[in-house]
Amino acid sequence: MKIRAITLNTFKEAIRDRILYLLFFFAAAAIIFSRLLALLTVGDRVKIIKDVGLASLSLFGALMAILIGTGLVYKEIDKKTIYTVISKPIHRWQFLLGKFLGLMLTLVVMIGLMSLIFLIVVFAHTFKLEPRLLIAILFIFIELMLITAVAILFSCFSTPILSSIFSLAFYLIGHTSWGLETLIRKLRPGPWRSLAQFLYTFLPDLENFNFRTEIVHGLAIQPRFYFYSALYGLFYTAFILVLANMIFRKRDFV
């Protein structure tokens, strides 16, 4: 019941945030614009609409998770409402988990609305349902779940601006980690190569959740890849949340 109360309260706070609606507006505009872009482009128009639409869901969903998530814990500390919370019979992990679930509930609503707009735009162009697009959307959501956990982690010990920068860097590196492998092969043995190797080993590969190319182009995907990617996302999210709890538990608010 305690976690549920924090979850609902976080959802009510997040859903009133103007940044959320600004990002939603730009995401919806990008999805709708993809149809116009397809009409002006030579090539497979349906693939352009799908690719731009899914990319918009991923990008703007990540920005929502980062910009809202990085302020969740910091706002409680800044407004000193955290003292009221920790004075009650509630564990700190329950507080963090409630914050996480509240933002995830917010993202369910926003991603759901953006996905509805996207699917309507695709249907308006093809006049047929595309069930495989739901798989791509599901894995975008799993990716956002991980990014939300990371945003909350940074929010436990840093300001919203720095947390946003760190989270955005996490997102960008996570989608370009394949480049680190190439960089490692080119670098000579030394501190820079060791740093690149460290980042490649411990930072997640967010491309594990990217099935856009295969789904947009109608390529076959073995079910086991879906299973491994989902498991990867769930375990990594759990690890980040445990790490966030360890940091938050050691903070002294007295």
pLDDT digits (tens, 9 = 90+) for 23-42: 999 999 999 888 887 777 76
**Residue 43 or 143, more confident:** 143
pLDDT digits (tens, 9 = 90+) for 126-176: 888 888 999 999 999 999 999 999 999 999 888 889 999 999 999 988 888
Give the pLDDT confidence score for residue 109 in this predicted structure. Answer: 95
Cα separations (Å) of 178 from 90, 142, 171, 214, 242?
A: 42, 20, 13, 18, 26
Confidence of residue 253 (pLDDT cuts 50, 70, 90): low
pLDDT digits (tens, 9 = 90+) for 174-197: 888 777 777 787 878 888 788 878
Residues present in the chain in total: 254
How would DSSP label each residue in 135-158?
Answer: HHHHHHHHHHHHHHHHHHHHHTTS
Give the pLDDT confidence score for residue 167 in this predicted structure. Answer: 94
How would DSSP label each residue in 32-66?
Answer: HHHHHHHHTSSS-HHHHHHHHHHHHHHHHHHHHHH
The domain limits of the chain are 2-250
pTM: 0.90
Whether the per-residue pLDDT at 111 is higher than 90: the answer is yes
Whether the per-residue pLDDT at 43 is higher than 70: the answer is no
Confidence of residue 234 (pLDDT cuts 50, 70, 90): very high
Give the pLDDT confidence score for residue 25 in this predicted structure. Answer: 94
